[in-house]
Amino acid sequence: MAYNNNRVSKWLISGPPLLYLILFFAIPTLIMAFAAFRFPGDYGGLLPLVGTNDAGATALLVNSENWRDYLTLENFGRFFDDPIYIELFVKSFWYAGITTLSCLVLAYPLAWLIARSPKKYRDLLVLLVILPFWSNFLIRVYAWMIILGPQGYLARAANGVLALFGVGPVQILFSHFAVIVVLVYVHLPFMVLPLYANLEKHDMNLLDAAQDLGANTWQRFWRITWPLSLPGVFAGAALVFIPALGMFAVPDLVGGTDGFMIGNLIKQQFLDSRDWPFGSVLSIMLTLAVLLLAAIAGWLGRGGKRDAL
């Protein structure tokens, strides 16, 4: 009886989101992911599998004899043929990693303070974190281009200081540094909010008890707050790392000649080169890499929790 009830409520709760995601995400995406095994059309799109046959009727063109002309693994081969693609993956993971770490360092104290502030201010402080992100993305990046540009105050101040040491002016805009700054900025709220949501529920009595037992501030943080907040850290890291990985607009706008990332490469396949199959291969590889990483993180996370308990 209890088991049965559990089954019913399980489907009641997980059914609607599952159905929605299958219908409006999984099915459409699988159609396109299948493109990875097909040939590109000569003029863009894909080599059609359905078309007019010799008799002039619409029919499936592919059959058991000619399927090799329509289906292939060659697109995956291309990915491994040239080390460029793997190198680009490594570079993008590196950038996304730095972005995630920087976001965590900036977001943690802020989220912790908001969670500990008086209840009546909490919502306002949370709102203030996300408010700037309701202005348009492009305009925000433009604002950074003004701040980092050669005429901007930041660049002028930095170069003024450098000049004192006899170092020539450095370019801030169109550099790796600019890409990281803007990536951190764009993703920061997606770290603060999950952290806040998690930290907000922590039981202050635990910390007080620890203090009574003579634990100092750092001990209390490392032994109690940090382990308890790990689910929030993992959630925030996922919501920053994954989107940062596929970002192409930021490197495009502020990255200069070295700002080419995996997201730019994928965009190039689908648009400029009209090579949807290879674009799909790259997308599948990226998604698999992320899922693998998530599985590892989940496994480590479970281990971490066991230690904390």
Smallest gap from Cβ 168 to other proteins, in A, equals 11
Does 250 help bind other proteins (rule: CB under 8 A)? Answer: no
Are 208 and 225 in contact by the 8 Å Cβ rule? The answer is: no
Are 276 and 70 in contact by the 8 Å Cβ rule? The answer is: no
Residues 9-38 that bind other proteins (CB under 8 A): 9-10, 13-14, 16-18, 20-22, 24-29, 31-33
Q: Which residues, in sequence order, are bridge partners of residue 52?
A: 58
Tokens coding 264: 């730019």
Q: Mask: binding to other proteins, 48-87, rule CB under 8 A, as x and -? A: ----------------------------------x-x--x
Does 210 help bind other proteins (rule: CB under 8 A)? Answer: no
Candidate ranges 64-72, 92-100, 159-167, 252-260; the one touching other proteins (CB under 8 A)? 252-260
Does 133 help bind other proteins (rule: CB under 8 A)? Answer: yes
Residues 80-119 that bind other proteins (CB under 8 A): 82, 84, 87-88, 106-107, 109-110, 112-114, 116, 119
Smallest gap from Cβ 67 to other proteins, in A, equals 21
Member of 89, 96, 232, 250 binding other proteins (CB under 8 A): 232
| CB-nearer residue toward other proteins: 69 or 87 | 87
DSSP 205-225: HHHHHHHHTT--HHHHIIIII
Q: What is the four-CA torsion angle of 268, 273, 278, 283, rounded to 10 degrees? A: 20
What is the rounded CA–CA span in Å between residue 12 and residue 18?
A: 10
Residues 140-159 that bind other proteins (CB under 8 A): 140, 142-147, 149-151
What is the rounded CA–CA span in Å between residue 101 and residue 87?
A: 21
Smallest gap from Cβ 116 to other proteins, in A, equals 7
Does 246 help bind other proteins (rule: CB under 8 A)? Answer: yes
What is the rounded CA–CA span in Å between residue 11 and residue 223?
A: 38
| CB-nearer residue toward other proteins: 10 or 67 | 10
Tokens coding 25: 């995400």
Candidate ranges 59-67, 93-101, 158-166, 268-276; the one touching other proteins (CB under 8 A)? 268-276
Are 169 and 163 in contact by the 8 Å Cβ rule? The answer is: yes
Q: Helices (H), strands (E): how many in the chain?
A: 15, 2
What is the rounded CA–CA span in Å between residue 189 and residue 243?
A: 13
Member of 62, 100, 187, 189 binding other proteins (CB under 8 A): 189
Instruction: For residue 36, give the 3-state DSSP assignment.
Output: helix
Does 47 help bind other proteins (rule: CB under 8 A)? Answer: no
